[in-house]
Structure 1
Amino acid sequence: MSPTRFASEHRWIYIGAIVVLLALAVTGLIRYATVATSSKAASKANRLADAAVEAGYPRPDTRAIERLLGTDGGLVCDDPASALKSALWKINLSNGAAFVGQRPVIGDTRALAAEATILEIYCPDKLDKIKDKLADLKTDDTVRRR
């Protein structure tokens, strides 16, 4: 049997091997991108957890932070200086009542600093847009530390 005849009879083996190798290469590239993204998200989540501990908060679950904020900050970094986000902050700084019982309160300085820390870690380019809005809010040490 000549070598060319052998190659032509078993062409499907060569084609199958090439398809399998290409599939493995594509899978490897996809998994590498996923691992790199996951590593970056874990690094940022650990930085945020360390900052929370430094601020006097208990250490949050870093896996939850990774899922919530990912690598780009998620909804936190989605136009943080917008009027809607500003209104939501002010609602969250209320007394917790609903409808007519809701009143503004003096917010805790550390809580607003935590928001700034998230922006500093995940989207530092957007922190400048919001610093003036944070400075306009009246805050004090309203939450007791343990």
Structure 2
Amino acid sequence: MAVLVEATAVIVRAAGVERQIPGGWDALGASLPEQGVCSDDELVSISLFDPAEVRRLVERLVALGLHFEWEGNFDDIAFADQKRGLITPCDWLTFETVNIGIGGTPPSVAICRLIGSQSHELRVPEGWRYQGSLSEAFGAEGTGKA
């Protein structure tokens, strides 16, 4: 499967949630913002705009038990930028742009997928629509157009 990337996305590996966080998904969900979150069976994507919000979220995730070090231990958490792709080097994650096939011209969105995943289903935040989204406004490939 794949998860949507808009703005700066904090990407969490689902295996880390199950393995590292006491209380698992319930504990994780209580620490996440109300908007900009989507998940599949393999990844969670949390889209944020403010670098300070990104740092605060990562600190909360580490306090829950996920493994992450700003100097380069990206076992459970990684970052992706809608325009630039993966911000952190990571051997378990891939970044792509895909056409979602709506409207006259197929627009593209940025996604992350667990390496080796064969599913092509895209998960987006609840209530997300392409029309009016950051993907439409900025384009998945940083052109300023979708």
Structure having the higher helix fraction is 1
Structure having the higher strand fraction is 2
Larger Rg computed on CA atoms = 1
Structure 1-normalised TM-score?
0.23
Higher relative contact order (CA 8 A, sep 6+): 2
